[in-house]
């Protein structure tokens, strides 16, 4: 069969993929550049701390999200105990909290002037130095904060895997004498392993991408090091080299996740998907299951939400301050623009892959969607360097030709910021749109084309109405992710332009925790919306049956 010639769809997809991959390529290119004195100074002083703390953070958070996410997913999927139906969706609520916000909140609760230590001093008559209390601003504190907000990644995918398992496998394990623990350990857990590893990888990528938590707790990691090198030492090249090392950590995680799925095959033994046989827990086991599921919801959502609500009540006037309305407008408009662009790009690339299912287009789509795995700090550095170069070239040419300075056209503007958001969050919309397109039979495309419609008309008039719900979901997911994004916004935002995330970070960094509550609570309230959507999706994910 002769090879088809590249057309506008081929060229367009490859061009978009190259543009979106530009930040990553720029960062990697700095690995091969000569080292500077700043880089040699970093190697001699703090690089080992960045590596050690980042690895310890990953190990601690990895253990934490597994210990919370997998048991709770098993309990709500295959056991019956009081409150199970509530916990099915409540266990996802901590996902609405950005890690840096929960870190500020718990610092206000557990620090020396906070209500917990103040109450202990009042009860026992202690003074400063008379007692020991765990330090929240520490590596262990950061591990706890990140585990509380990232375990839903493991819970979400683990629960989906448990719900999709064949009832026959579970019934056979019971006939062989396996109880709840035996069935979990020997049957359900091995079958769910690929999903668990995927959720763990996502949580670890978010851990590496975190900036607000580690910065606030004073823990030197790669993300804090990139900021300090760029803004403190004034060396973008050394910052890019740090970003390249951080990106190599991410790629190793992706590689390990792929290898873990390739080395083993997990097959369901039957296509029978009736109602799952739940283990009826009795006595102390019922209370134990209730407690295991309640604890992460209590610590990851209820307690920090209560504290934010209390602070917001104390600073209620901030909700009506003109500055707050400006922050809300900046955040919502920026998130809306980025979400629309990301979904338009996702529709174009996913439909091009459907039209031209060749290796080149598939590879281009994969490259365009890899930004979600890259930390915001890395993308920000990769965007700033080429944009600043373009600005300087244009400015020099305009000065030489017309004696006019163009200033900053791209870098330091909303253009750079929105581009970084599209690079970072395109994968979110792309995965949603691709999943929706696969549900539309190719015969519908053929019928529309036989009636004289062009490919773009088929997409607009046939596919979009069918995929309306999925497209709106993609818009909402990107919208909320942009609203919560902190490091890329901090680096790339225009001068004197603030968002809710940036303002909450600035106020908390100045120890004005109560004043930051209004901005933080607004982010959390908006973040609850996609959590509800995810909960509804996962509850009906079992083939042939809606989970009761």
528: confidence class by pLDDT, cuts 50, 70, 90: confident
Higher pLDDT among residues 67 and 353, named by residue: 67
φ and ψ of 80, to 5 deg = -115, 120
Whether pLDDT at 543 is above 60: no
pTM (two decimals): 0.84
DSSP state of 128: T
DSSP 3-state percent helix, strand, coil across the chain (nearest 5): 80, 0, 20
In CATH, 315-509 is 1.10.3720.10: yes
Mean pLDDT of 56-77: 93
Rounded CA gap, 253 and 235, in Å?
28
Q: What does 310-357 look like in DSSP terms, one character per residue? A: HHHHHTGGGGGSHHHHHHHHHHHHHHHHHHHHHHHHHHHHHHHHHHS-
Tens digits of residue pLDDT in 163-191? 765 444 555 555 545 555 555 655 666 66
Are 342 and 426 in contact, with CB atoms under 8 Å apart?
yes
**267 falls in which pLDDT band (50, 70, 90)?**
very low
Which run of H or E residues covers position 199? helix 189-209
- How far apart, in whole angstroms, are the C-alpha atoms of residue 127 and residue 105? 24
441 CB-near residues (< 8 Å, 6+ apart): none
- Rounded-to-integer distance, Cα 222 and Cα 240, Å: 11
pLDDT at residue 247 above 50? yes
What is the C-alpha separation between 105 and 513, in angstroms, rounded? 8
**How far is residue 116 from each of residues 110, 133, 213, 314, 515, measured CA to CA in Å?**
6, 10, 21, 18, 20
Check residue 7 and report its DSSP letter. Answer: -
Residues 6 or more apart in contact with residue 184 via CB below 8 angstroms? 74, 78
Instruction: Check if the beta carbon of residue 409 is closer than 8 Å to that of residue 417.
Output: no
Domain boundaries, the chain: 24-97+143-309, 315-509
Residue-level pLDDT at 193: 77
Q: Is the pLDDT of residue 400 over 50?
A: yes
Given a contact cutoff of 8 angstroms between Cβ atoms, the answer to whether 218 and 137 are in contact is yes
Q: What is the CA radius of gyration of the chain?
A: 25
Q: How many helices (H) and strands (E) does the chain have?
A: 26, 2
What average pLDDT does the segment 157-167 reach?
70
The CATH number of 24-97+143-309 is 1.10.3720.10
Question: Where is mean pLDDT largest: 114-118, 227-231, 334-338, 406-410?
Answer: 334-338
* Burial label, 109 (beta-carbon count in 10 A; 0-12, 13-18, 19+): middle
């Amino acid at each position: 069969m002769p090879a088809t010639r590249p057309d506008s769809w081929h060229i367009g997809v490859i061009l978009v993929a190259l543009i979106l991959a530009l930040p990553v390529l720029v960062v990697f290119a700095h690995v091969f550049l000569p080292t500077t004195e700043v880089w040699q100074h970093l190697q001699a002083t703090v690089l080992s701390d960045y590596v050690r703390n980042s690895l310890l953070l990953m190990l601690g958070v990895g253990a934490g999200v597994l210990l919370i996410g997998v048991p709770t997913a098993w309990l709500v999927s295959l056991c019956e105990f009081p409150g199970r139906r509530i916990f099915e969706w409540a266990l996802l609520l901590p996902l609405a909290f950005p890690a840096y916000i929960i870190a500020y909140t718990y610092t206000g609760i557990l620090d020396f002037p906070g209500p917990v230590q103040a109450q202990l001093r009042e009860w026992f008559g202690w003074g400063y130095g008379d007692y020991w209390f765990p330090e929240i601003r520490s590596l262990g504190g950061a591990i706890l904060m990140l585990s509380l907000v990232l375990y839903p990644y493991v819970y979400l995918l683990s629960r989906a895997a448990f719900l999709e398992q064949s009832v026959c496998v579970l019934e056979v394990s019971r006939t062989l004498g396996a109880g709840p623990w035996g069935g979990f350990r020997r049957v359900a857990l091995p079958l769910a392993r690929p999903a668990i590893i995927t959720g763990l990888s996502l949580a670890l990528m978010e851990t590496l991408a975190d900036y607000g938590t580690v910065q606030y707790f004073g823990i030197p990691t790669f993300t804090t090091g990139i900021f300090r090198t760029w803004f403190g030492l004034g060396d973008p090249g050394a910052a890019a080299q740090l970003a390249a090392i951080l990106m190599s950590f991410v790629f190793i995680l992706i590689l390990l996740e792929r290898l873990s799925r390739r080395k083993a095959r997990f097959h369901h033994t039957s296509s029978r998907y009736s109602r799952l046989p739940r283990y009826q827990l009795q006595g102390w086991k019922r209370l134990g299951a209730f407690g295991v599921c309640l604890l992460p919801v209590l610590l990851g959502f209820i307690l920090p939400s209560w504290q934010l609500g209390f602070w917001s009540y104390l600073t209620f006037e901030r909700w009506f301050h003109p500055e707050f309305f400006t922050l809300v407008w900046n955040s919502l408009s920026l998130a809306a623009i980025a979400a629309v662009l990301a979904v338009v790009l996702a529709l174009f690339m996913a439909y091009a892959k459907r039209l031209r299912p060749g290796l080149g287009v598939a590879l281009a789509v994969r490259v365009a969607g890899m930004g979600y795995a890259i930390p915001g700090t890395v993308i920000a550095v990769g965007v700033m360097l080429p944009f600043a170069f373009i600005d300087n070239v244009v400015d020099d040419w305009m000065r030489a030709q017309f004696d006019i300075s163009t200033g900053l056209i791209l870098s330091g503007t909303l253009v750079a910021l929105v581009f970084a958001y599209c690079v970072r969050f395109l994968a979110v919309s792309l995965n949603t749109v691709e999943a929706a397109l696969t549900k539309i039979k190719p015969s519908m495309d053929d019928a529309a084309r036989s009636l004289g419609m062009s490919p773009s008309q088929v997409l607009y008039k046939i596919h979009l109405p069918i995929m309306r719900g999925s497209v709106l979901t993609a818009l909402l997911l990107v919208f909320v992710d942009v609203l919560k994004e902190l490091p890329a916004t901090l680096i790339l935002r225009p001068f004197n332009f603030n968002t809710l995330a940036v303002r909450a970070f600035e106020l908390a960094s100045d120890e004005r925790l109560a004043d930051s509550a209004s901005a933080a609570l607004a982010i959390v309230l908006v973040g609850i919306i996609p959590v509800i959507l995810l909960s509804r999706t996962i509850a009906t994910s079992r083939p042939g049956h809606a989970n009761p």
